[in-house]
Amino acid sequence: MSALSAGLRKLPRLTRRRAITASVVVVLLAAAAVWTVRSDRSDWTSEDLRLTVSSGPAGNEPVDLDARFYLPADRSGKVPAVLLAHGFGGTKNSVSSDAESLASRGYAVLTWTARGFGRSGGEIHLDSPDYEVKDAQGLLDWLATRPEVSTDAAGDPKVGVVGGSYGGALALLLAGQDQRVDAIVPSITWNDLNKSFLPQSAGTDATGVFKKSWAGLFFGNGAAGAESAVSAQLGGGSETAEGGVGGGAAALDPACGRFSAEVCAAYLQMATTGIPNAATTELLRKSSPATVLDKIKAPTLLVQGAVDTLFPLSEADANAKGIAATGTPVRVAWFTGGHDGGEGPTSDSDRVKYLTVQWLDHYLKGEGEVPGDDFTWSRVAGFSALDRGLVTNGYSAQAYPGMGGTGRTQISLTGSAQPIANPPNGNPGALSSLPGLGGRLSSVLSGGVAMDIPGQVATFTSEPLTAGVDVGGSPTLQLKAASPTGEATLFVKLYDVDQNGASTLSAGLVAPVRLTGLPADIATAAPITVTLPAIVRRIEAGHTVRIAVATSDQAFLTPAQPATYTVAVEPSLTLPTLVGTPIADPGTLWWYALAGVIAAILLGLTVVILVIRRRHRRRETSVIDGYAETPLVVDGLRKAYGDGFVAVQEIGFKVERGQVVGLLGPNGAGKTTTLRVLMGLTTPTAGEIYVFGHRLVPGAPILSRVGALVEGPGFLPHLTGYENLRAYWQATGRPWEDARFDEALEIAGLGDSVHRRTKNYSHGMRQRLAIAQAMLGLPELLVLDEPTDGLDPPQIAEMRRVLQRYATDGRAVLVSSHLLAEVEQTCTHAVVVNKGRIVASGLVDDIVGDSPSVQLDVSDVPAATRVLEELGVRSVTPEGTHGLIVDMNGTARSELVASLVTAGIGVDRLVPRRRLEDAFLALVGDNSRGSGDR
C-alpha cells in the first residue's frame, strides 16, 4: 500500500472519557484545521474501462488493461490528470481510496491493473521499459484524447504519476522514458533491482547476498496468478483476487504462473545458485530506475519508509542523487512506514499525504508556492495508551543530508576476535525480520522478534550512553574476517539494548556482506568498511549499542557448506545523527496566539489522566468480595455512542468455573460489542466487568488470565503453525515455559499439522490454530467469537470436543455463536441477548424446556395443516413425509389432538420438540436484527 493511501484510510476516533472531552475537542479542532479531505461520491464520478494499448519491443503487441477513470464532479473546465499505479500483486482497486481523494481535489485520475494481474491480460515483465512502461505510455496517449483533461500541447496531457513500490518504480521509469510527464511522486520503491535483491554492504567487488524471502514472496505472488494476502505488503492493497489468472489468459505454467518466461528463468536461476548470471543481471538492470535517472525532467517527490527490509532508505537516496545531478527539482521525505508496516492512525501518513498533494497542486495546477527542497522525516516518539499505537514526531532540515546525517557521533565498542560457525544450508538460521508481515504487528515485532543462534554470532558492545543519540542514516564500522575457505557471508546488525537487557533490532534491518580473498588468520586480516542500513531511531541515555556479526539469516540465501570463520571489529562505530526543526502545521499562525491556552489545557488534561489512571490502578488491585473465584461477572453493562446509538442496553450474567457458556442473539443484538468490552477493546458507558473479582479496564493485568479469539484469526502464511504460535507468545514478553505449549496443542487437536506452513492450512486448521493460540498458557477464562465460522460438519464436531475438553480443571469458556444446534450440544449454559438486553439465561436444558413446539406424525399432512391453522397455532412446518412441527402458541396438546381426530386425521405420534432453536425464536420473535452492533 502506498504511503498516500495509508494517510487517507481513516481518521483518529474522538473516543474519550467525559471528564476530558472538552479539552480534547479544542486540541483536535486545531489539528483538523490544517488538512481535510472529503471522498464522498458527490465529489467524484468513476467509469470502469477496458483499454487496449500496444507494447513490446516493436510496439506492436496489444494488451487489454482493466482500468477505471475518475473525474471530479464539480469542474468548470479541463483539469490536470494523475496516473495512479498500484503495487506488485494489486489491482486498480488497491488504490481506489487514493483515486477518490485526488478526484475530490479536482484531478482526473486514471487507475489500471498492471499486465499479468487481476483482470488485465498479458504477462508480468517486472516494470520492463518494453512492456509495463510502454503500457503506461499508451495510457498517456488515451488521457491526451479525453476532453476533460488539460494538455500542454497536442497529444501531451498535463499529468502527474503517483505510485508505491512496483507503481513507484513505474513512475520513475515512465518519467525517464516519456517527457510528457509533468511531476512524479514515487514511494517505497527501488533504485536498482540487482542491489535490492542482492545487497552488498561492504565496498568489495563480490556479488551481494540473495534476499531469498522477499524475492520468493514477489515470485510466489505473481506465479499464483492472483492476488494474495502478501500483496498488501508489496504495495498492492489487501483485496481479494479478481478473476484468477486475468482477462482471457491461457492456463498457467505451474512453475512460472503469469510471469514472462525470461523473468521466470531469471528468478529460478538466481534462487537456485544465489549468483545471477549475465542474463539475469541485465534483466534486473533493465527494470531499474537507475538506468533512466539522468533523463528524468519531471519534478520528483521521493517518499521512502524507515520500516522496510525490502527497499530501505538507501534506495531513495540513490534515486535522489541521480535525478538531482541533472538539475531536476527533487525533494525527499522519510516516514515511519514501509513494506514491513508502520501505518495506522498514529503514524505520520497525513504528513506524507499533505506533501504529495502540495507537490501535485503546484506542478500540475500551478497553485501555491514552489515546494522547497528541504528534507523532512519522522521518528517514533513513544506509545499512546489512549490511541493504542505508536506516536510519531515530524522534523525538517534545510537540505537533504543523504545517508550521512546532519552530524556524526562516535561510539566505542569492546570485544575481542571471536570464532563463529556457518551452519550447513543456513539451517538453523538467525531471524532478523518477518518479510511480508506488514501492519501494526510488524511494527511491534520487527526487532523484538530478532533471534541470533548461539555459536553463529559474535557480539561487540559499547558502554552505556551518557546522552541520548538521534540516529538518522547509515552507521558504519570496520570489520575484520578470516576464513579457511577464503570466503565468508556475514550479517552485521546494530541492536539498541536498554537497561534491562531487552534488545531491539531497528526495523529488522541487517547489513549482508559477502567477502572473498580472506586470509585464514585473523591477525593478517585487513579492515573492511561495512555500511549498515539507514535507520531513524533515538537511542536513549543509559542504553548500550551492541553490534552482532552472524553467519546466517532466514531472509537470505547463505553458503551450503559448513565452515568456521573468525571475526573482529575495530573499536569505533560511527552513528550519523539528525537534527532538525519540528514540523509545524501550515496555515495555523493563530496557533501561537493559543499556545498558552492549549498548554494550560494540556496541563489540566495531564492531571485528569493521572487521576483517572490512579483510580484505575486502585480499581484493578482491589478484589470484589464473592467474585474472586468466579471467572467472569458482567454487571449492568451498557454501551452507547456519542451520536445516540445504543449497542448494549443492559446486560448482566456470570460464567463459573467448569462452564461452557454460549452467548446467543440475532445479528446486531450486542454480542460482539459485549466481547469487545470484555477484551478491553472498547470502554463501556456504564456497568462493570469483573474477571476473578478484579474490575476490568483496558490493559488490566488480570487480562493475562484470559485467552481470546475475537474478530477472526490472522497468521503469517510463510511460517509454520508452531512458528506463528512462538512469535505470538514472544510478543507477550512472558517466559516460554509459561506457554504450556504441548497441553494447548493436545486440547486443540492439531497434532503434527502444527509443523506445516499455515499457507497450506484449511480454514478449519486455521481456526484450530487460532484456538490453540488463545489457549497458550492455559488461561482460566477462554473467550471465543464464532469459533466454528466456516467449518464443515466434521470440523464443527471436533471443535465441540475441543471446547468441552478445555472447560475442565476449573477453567471456563464463553463462546459467541449463531449455530444454535452446536451451542445446544456444546454449551452447559446459554445467555440469549436481543436488542441489547438479556431475554433468557441459565442451563441450556432449562431454556430448551421452555420451547413451545411439538413434533407429530399424521396421516394427512395438508389436511392437518388446515385444521391446525384454523385452531390458531403460531406456525405449522412440514417435516418429512408425515411429520409436522407445530408452535402451539399456548394451545393445549389435548385440544390439538382432539381437533385432528375429530377431523378424521390419524395422529401416530406427538412428542415435545426440545430444540434450542425453537426456544431462541420464541424468545426473540421474528426479529432478525437487534438494536445494532458496532
| SS3 letters across 739-799 | HCHHHHHHHHCCHHHHHCEHHHCCHHHHHHHHHHHHHCCCCCEEEEECCCCCCCHHHHHHH
H helix runs in 105-247, sequence order: 132-145, 166-177, 193-197, 212-223
Alpha-carbon distance of 163 to 180, in angstroms, equals: 17
Q: Give exposure, 450-468, as e/b (b: 16+ Cβ within 10 Å).
A: bebbeebbbbbebeebeee
Among 577, 595, 616, give the residue marking a domain's end: 577
List, in order, residues 6 or more apart from 560 with CB less than 8 Å away: 424, 425, 426
CATH of the domain at 117: 3.40.50.1820
Are the C-beta atoms of residues 876 and 886 closer than 8 Å to each other?
A: yes
pTM confidence score: 0.61
Residue 437 lies in a domain: yes
- Give the three-class secondary structure for 193: helix
Alpha-carbon distance of 722 to 121, in angstroms, equals: 39
Residue type, 650: E
- Give the three-class secondary structure for 265: helix
Write down the pLDDT at residue 318.
Answer: 97
Together in a domain, 479 and 531: yes
Nearest CA to 309 out of 234, 228, 370, 405 is that of: 234
Nine cell digits for residue 827: 454449551
Strand locations in 551-698 (E): 563-577, 581-582, 632-640, 646-655, 660-664, 686-691, 694-695
Segments in the chain below pLDDT 50: 1-40, 225-250, 343-347, 383-389, 438-448, 585-599, 616-621, 927-934
H helix runs in 425-478, sequence order: 439-445
Cis peptide preceding 698, ω within 30 of 0: no
Write down the pLDDT at residue 522.
Answer: 95
Together in a domain, 805 and 835: yes
Alpha-carbon distance of 188 to 89, in angstroms, equals: 15
Identify the burial level of 330 via C-beta atoms within 10 angstroms of its C-beta, where 0-12 means exposed, 13-18 middle and 19 or more buried.
buried
Write down the pLDDT at residue 874.
Answer: 78
- The edge-to-edge listing of strands for the beta sheet with 686-691 is 694-695, 686-691, 632-640, 646-655, 837-843, 829-834, 660-664, 812-816, 781-785, 706-709
Residue 794 lies in a domain: yes
Q: Kindly give the interhelix angle for 212-223 and 261-273, rounded to the nearest 10 degrees.
A: 150
Residue 587 lies in a domain: no
Write down the pLDDT at residue 237.
Answer: 42
Write down the pLDDT at residue 236.
Answer: 45
Together in a domain, 559 and 478: yes
Together in a domain, 704 and 824: yes
Are β-strands 457-462 and 837-843 bridged in parallel, bridged antiparallel, or unpaired?
A: unpaired
Together in a domain, 873 and 904: yes
Q: Radius of gyration of the chain from Cα atoms?
A: 32
Identify the burial level of 497 via C-beta atoms within 10 angstroms of its C-beta, where 0-12 means exposed, 13-18 middle and 19 or more buried.
middle
Together in a domain, 310 and 459: no
Residue 260 lies in a domain: no
Query: Could you give the C-alpha distances from 54 to 131, 327, 337, in angstroms and in order?
Result: 9, 33, 36
Are β-strands 476-482 and 563-577 bridged in parallel, bridged antiparallel, or unpaired?
A: antiparallel
Together in a domain, 89 and 153: yes
Are the C-beta atoms of residues 134 and 53 closer than 8 Å to each other?
A: yes
Write down the pLDDT at residue 221.
Answer: 60
Q: CB 914: neighbour CB atoms within 10 A? A: 16
Alpha-carbon distance of 289 to 301, in angstroms, equals: 15
Give the pLDDT confidence of 816-873 residue by residue, as tens digits: 877 677 777 788 888 888 888 888 888 887 776 655 677 788 888 888 888 888 888 8
Together in a domain, 868 and 886: yes
Strand locations in 837-915 (E): 837-843, 853-858, 875-879, 883-887, 907-912
Write down the pLDDT at residue 643.
Answer: 64
Residue 606 lies in a domain: no
Together in a domain, 294 and 438: no
Are β-strands 829-834 and 660-664 bridged in parallel, bridged antiparallel, or unpaired?
A: parallel
Are the C-beta atoms of residues 528 and 478 closer than 8 Å to each other?
A: yes
Residue 258 lies in a domain: no
Write down the pLDDT at residue 749.
Answer: 75
Are the C-beta atoms of residues 644 and 813 closer than 8 Å to each other?
A: no
In the chain, the number of structural domains is: 4
Identify the burial level of 837 via C-beta atoms within 10 angstroms of its C-beta, where 0-12 means exposed, 13-18 middle and 19 or more buried.
middle
Are the C-beta atoms of residues 539 and 471 closer than 8 Å to each other?
A: yes
Nine cell digits for residue 528: 573492511
Among 815, 843, 871, give the residue marking a domain's end: 843
Write down the pLDDT at residue 568.
Answer: 97
Write down the pLDDT at residue 389.
Answer: 43
Together in a domain, 164 and 297: yes
Q: Kindly give the interhelix angle for 21-32 and 595-621, rounded to the nearest 10 degrees.
A: 130
List, in order, residues 6 or more apart from 523 with CB less than 8 Å away: none
Are the C-beta atoms of residues 148 and 285 closer than 8 Å to each other?
A: no
Nine cell digits for residue 779: 488461561
Write down the pLDDT at residue 914.
Answer: 57
Together in a domain, 802 and 881: no
Alpha-carbon distance of 6 to 88, in angstroms, equals: 16
Alpha-carbon distance of 148 to 76, in angstroms, equals: 10
CATH of the domain at 645: 3.40.50.300
Nine cell digits for residue 514: 559477502
Element at 640 (helix H, strand E):
strand 632-640
Together in a domain, 783 and 824: yes
Alpha-carbon distance of 44 to 69, in angstroms, equals: 10
Domain region containing 165: 3-22+40-196+289-370
Nine cell digits for residue 797: 464436531
Residue 605 lies in a domain: no
707: left (phi over 0), alpha (psi -120 to 50) or beta: beta
Among 819, 843, 867, give the residue marking a domain's end: 843
Element at 497 (helix H, strand E):
strand 488-497
CATH of the domain at 436: 2.60.120.260
Nine cell digits for residue 690: 469483573
- Give the three-class secondary structure for 870: helix
Residue 389 lies in a domain: no
